[in-house]
């Protein structure tokens, strides 16, 4: 179960919002109205190459890209 090179790079991107070219959106974004002004969004992504799953958050206090293993 290897992660592709692009996903390895993606997992290190904590401050940029752009998904790499093989990541596709999964489901609808989840909207959170919390203590952050305007709330924030989470969007799940799936890699077409290696099937890694990422979750992208617009919460400024959070890591932008979270990798979900297995």
Instruction: Figure out which of the listed residues 13, 29, 43, 50 binds Zn ion, where binding follows CB under 5 A.
Output: 50
Taking the alpha carbons at both ends of the chain, their separation in whole angstroms is: 9
Task: Report the run of H or E that residue 25 belongs to, with start and end.
Answer: strand 23-32
CA 32 to chain centre: 15
* Rg value, the chain, Cα: 12
The stretch near Zn ion (CB under 5 A) out of 24-32, 37-45, 49-57, 58-66 is 49-57
Q: Does 47 bind Zn ion (CB under 5 A)?
A: yes
Contact letters (x/-) for Zn ion, 4-43, by CB under 5 A?
x--x------------------------------------
């Amino acid at each position: 179960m290897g992660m592709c090179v692009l996903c390895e790079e993606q997992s290190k991107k904590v401050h940029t919002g752009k998904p790499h070219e093989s990541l596709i959106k999964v489901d609808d974004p989840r909207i959170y109205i919390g203590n952050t002004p305007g709330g924030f969004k989470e969007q799940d992504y799936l890699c077409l190459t290696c099937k890694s799953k990422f979750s992208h958050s617009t919460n400024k206090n959070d890591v932008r890209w979270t990798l979900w293993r297995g």
